[in-house]
Amino acid sequence: MKLSYFHVAEDVPEHFVPESAVVIDVLRATTTIAWALNNGAKQVEVFEDLDQLRKRASEYPEMSRILLGERGGAKIDGFDLGNSPLGVTPEIVSGKSLLMSTTNGTRALNRVRNVEKLYTVALVNRNAVAEKLLSEKPKEVWIVGSGWVGSYSLEDSFAAGSLAARLLEHDPDCIEVVNDELVAALSLWTQWKDDREACLRNASHGKRLSGLGNHDADFKCCSELDVLQVVPTQVKEGVLSA
Ligand code: 3SL
């Protein structure tokens, strides 16, 4: 299995499509997606564009859908929920379709929506996604970070390293680390794996969230490792399900 890491969706090659891709936005979109599906959400539909999201929302009975998302870290006006994984409790999301738009995570998902097997990963479900890849054995996997409006983010690289490290632990002979970005991500994982929350807090987006108010519970939740078995999987373009 050839593994490459791209820091942001913009870095993904245009004229090649791998068998599988895994999108990361550990702070916080893919952590929220994992918790929402774990807690019984029917599906998560992702949108870059808010008008498209609102149009789609109007096609659902009001009781069956939840609008969720942020811009710049803050909840979008008129939406039911922001992008905190703590907001997607079973009481709120069970059986519901979530319509989601975030600053970077949903944009990264959109960029690779044509990959046949598309998953999302965060630290919370890293092992579950690693096991899925090991069972499917795709020849080539792109790990795609969400970054922050086109630039590198430490926490996504760290989480990419965590996934690659897990794959290497399970089956070193079948994994080929293809690019320097992933070698660097593996080093980050080695450096911070025993203090994951500190890594997230040191990241520029971690500092941004702290500047917006107390996000202690979000940092704790997003830095938990391998606590969920859910593998969010694209079941049709832009729609993720467990
Ligand atoms: O950019 C994103 O997609 C979000 O995950 C950012 S935030 O953590 O919700 O602010």
Instruction: Determine the pLDDT at residue 70.
Output: 96
d(CA 184, CA 216): 27
Instruction: Determine the pLDDT at residue 114.
Output: 95
Task: Name the residue of 101, 104, 152 to mutate for ligand 1: max ligand atoms within 8 A of Cβ.
Answer: 104
Beta strand 176-177 with 2-6: parallel, antiparallel or unpaired?
parallel
Of ligand 1's atoms, which has the minimum distance to the CA of residue 148?
1
What separation in Å is there between the alpha carbon of 171 and the centre of ligand 1?
Answer: 32
pLDDT band of 195, cuts 50, 70, 90: very high
Phi/psi for 144 (5° steps) reads -120, 120
3-class secondary-structure state, position 52: helix
Cα 61 to chain centroid distance, Å, stands at 27
Q: Is the pLDDT of residue 228 over 90?
A: yes
Averaged pLDDT for residues 33-56: 97
Q: Is the pLDDT of residue 233 over 90?
A: yes
d(CA 168, CA 241): 27
Do residues 100 and 3 make contact, with C-beta atoms less than 8 angstroms apart? no
d(CA 229, CA 227): 7
Q: Say which range, 11-15, 88-92, 141-145, has the weakest mean pLDDT.
A: 11-15
Of ligand 1's atoms, which has the minimum distance to the CA of residue 84?
9
Of ligand 1's atoms, which has the minimum distance to the CA of residue 103?
1
What separation in Å is there between the alpha carbon of 233 and the centre of ligand 1?
Answer: 19
Instruction: Determine the pLDDT at residue 107.
Output: 92
Indicate which residue's Cα is closest to atom 10 of ligand 1: 73
CATH code of 2-234, in short, is: 3.90.1560.10
Q: Is the pLDDT of residue 128 over 90?
A: yes
Instruction: Determine the pLDDT at residue 15.
Output: 87
Picking from 222, 217, 225, the residue whose alpha carbon sits closest to that of residue 200 is 222
For the stretch 50-84, pLDDT in tens is: 999 999 999 999 999 999 999 999 999 999 999 99
Of ligand 1's atoms, which has the minimum distance to the CA of residue 28?
5
Kindly report the average pLDDT of the chain as a whole number: 97
Averaged pLDDT for residues 34-47: 98
Instruction: Determine the pLDDT at residue 115.
Output: 97
Instruction: Determine the pLDDT at residue 223.
Output: 98
What separation in Å is there between the alpha carbon of 83 and the centre of ligand 1?
Answer: 7
Averaged pLDDT for residues 18-40: 98
What separation in Å is there between the alpha carbon of 74 and the centre of ligand 1?
Answer: 9
d(CA 68, CA 172): 39
Dig out the tokens for 114 from the structure.
């044509």
Dig out the tokens for 69 from the structure.
């998302």
Examine residue 28 and say whether the peptide bond preceding it is cis (omega within 30 degrees of 0).
yes
Q: Is the pLDDT of residue 199 over 90?
A: yes
Q: Is the pLDDT of residue 48 over 90?
A: yes
What separation in Å is there between the alpha carbon of 3 and the centre of ligand 1?
Answer: 25
What separation in Å is there between the alpha carbon of 148 and the centre of ligand 1?
Answer: 8
Residues having CB within 6 Å of any atom of ligand 1: 25, 27-29, 70, 73, 83, 102-105, 146, 209
**Nearest-5° angle of CA 111, CA 112, CA 115?**
155
Amino acid at 8: V
The C-alpha R_g of the chain, in whole angstroms, comes to 16
Instruction: Determine the pLDDT at residue 7.
Output: 97
